[in-house]
């Protein structure tokens, strides 16, 4: 393949993982921004989402893959949201949302979820069949003696499912934005984020807000995971990468800033994918981690936050 089509292909493939990363990182950013909790177990909510998606589709093999997948896309995030809600009530709330103790507590949750997953579903990587998977060829332009001509480079294609992942993620992200900016719940969350004491003085039950935010954060990670399992298999140790990348994105984006998180997800997701294709995945990760280190030194408030604050 020539360089142009090759770059386009790499960009499209990276866009798929970027979309999933954006969903996962937004979940982490919400939890950090509103609750000030650094959730080290966030990647395990991703893992649980993926493993539950496999389990749900496995129960529904009598139906078409599309039905099983659709059920998983709704049910798995709901289940993970419930697990996250319970984690908040049983663990995070009990340590009073103290920044340091919650880190230790969520490290504990990380191992608990991993081991439960291992003991319940086993150590094998589990595939999920995509609901649809048509390969779509993509045209390219080249200059010939007669001028511009369209042609179909061999190997330049993407599956319909991958395009759907991008589209569904965008719809979900727009949904998150609408809830936060246009609804009563969103207003309550933003007020709690900005001044929790005054929010309480105005009757806001912040612990209830925290429970719901933690549930939503887990559910968002699970949604990303359900979308990715038809492409990558579900496995009890799969939570590490999404956790690392989400942290990188949230730090670059400016802790708790949602628009910053989205831009950072785009930068990290796309560059990570491109470097992985053209060089190596390890180099991609090294560079991303290095970038975070530099940002923490030079712009600890994030790449995009106004320097006055």
Partner 1 sequence: MLELSGIAAAYGRVKVLHDVSLSVCEGEVVCVLGRNGAGKTSTMKAIMGLLPLSAGQITVDGTRLDTLPVDHVAKHRVAYTPQGRRLFPELTVRENLEIGLMARGEDSRVLDWVLELFPRLEERMNQLAHTLSGGEQQMAAIGRALCINPRFLLLDEPTEGLQPSIVALIQEVVSTLSKSGVGVLLVEQRIDAVLSIADKVAFIENGYSREVVPAATLKTDRSLLEKYVGV
By the criterion CB under 8 A, which residues form the site for partner 1?
Answer: 184, 187-188, 190-191, 194-195, 197-206
Min dist CB 207 to partner 1, Å, is 9
Which value, to the nearest 10 degrees, does the dihedral of the CA atoms of residues 161, 162, 165, 170 take?
Answer: -130
CB of 306 to partner 1, least distance (A): 11
From 229, 195, 36, 22, select the one nearest 125 (Cα to Cα): 229
Smaller CB separation from partner 1, 190 or 285: 190
Q: Which is nearer to partner 1, 47 or 209 (CB)?
A: 209
- CB nearer to partner 1: give 150 or 309: 309
SS3 37: coil
Q: Which is nearer to partner 1, 135 or 208 (CB)?
A: 208
Q: How far is CA 244 from CA 106, 188, 214, 264, 299, in A?
A: 15, 29, 19, 13, 19
Asked whether the beta carbons of 210 and 89 are under 8 A apart, the reply is: no
Specify the residue, 200 or 282, whose C-beta has the smaller distance to partner 1.
200
3-state secondary structure of 309: coil
- Nearest approach, Cβ of 211 to partner 1 (angstroms)? 14
Please say which residue, 106 or 192, places its beta carbon nearer to partner 1.
192
Distance CA 221, CA 106 (A): 15
* Nearest by Cα to 107 from 92, 124, 121: 92
Helix, strand or coil for residue 235? coil
Which of helix, strand or coil describes residue 142? Answer: strand
């Amino acid at each position: 393949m020539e360089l142009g089509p090759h770059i386009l292909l790499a960009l499209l493939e990276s866009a798929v993982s970027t979309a999933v990363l954006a969903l996962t990182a937004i979940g982490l950013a919400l939890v950090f921004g509103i609750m000030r909790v650094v959730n080290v177990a966030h990647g395990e909510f991703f893992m649980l989402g993926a493993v539950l998606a496999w389990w749900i589709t496995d129960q529904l093999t009598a139906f078409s893959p599309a039905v099983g997948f659709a059920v998983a896309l709704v049910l798995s995030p709901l289940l993970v949201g419930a697990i996250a809600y319970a984690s908040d009530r049983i663990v995070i709330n009990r340590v009073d949302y103290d920044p340091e103790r919650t880190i230790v507590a969520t490290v504990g949750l990380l191992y608990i979820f991993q081991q439960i997953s291992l003991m319940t579903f086993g150590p094998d990587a589990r595939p999920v069949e995509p609901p649809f998977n048509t390969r779509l060829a993509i045209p390219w332009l080249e200059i010939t003696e007669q001028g511009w001509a369209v042609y179909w480079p061999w190997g330049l294609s993407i599956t319909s499912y991958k395009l759907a992942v991008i589209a569904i993620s965008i719809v979900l992200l727009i949904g998150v934005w609408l809830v936060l900016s246009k609804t009563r719940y969103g207003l309550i969350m933003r007020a709690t984020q900005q001044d929790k004491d005054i929010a309480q003085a105005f009757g806001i039950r912040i612990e209830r807000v925290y429970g719901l935010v933690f549930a939503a954060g887990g559910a968002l990670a699970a949604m990303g995971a359900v979308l990715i399992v038809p492409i990558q298999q579900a496995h009890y140790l799969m939570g590490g990468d999404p956790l690392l990348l989400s942290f990188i994105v949230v730090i670059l984006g400016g802790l708790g800033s949602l628009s910053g998180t989205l831009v950072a997800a785009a930068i990290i997701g796309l560059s990570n994918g491109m470097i992985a294709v053209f060089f190596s995945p390890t180099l991609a990760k090294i560079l991303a981690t290095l970038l975070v280190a530099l940002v923490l030194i030079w712009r600890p408030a994030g790449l995009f936050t106004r320097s006055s604050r």
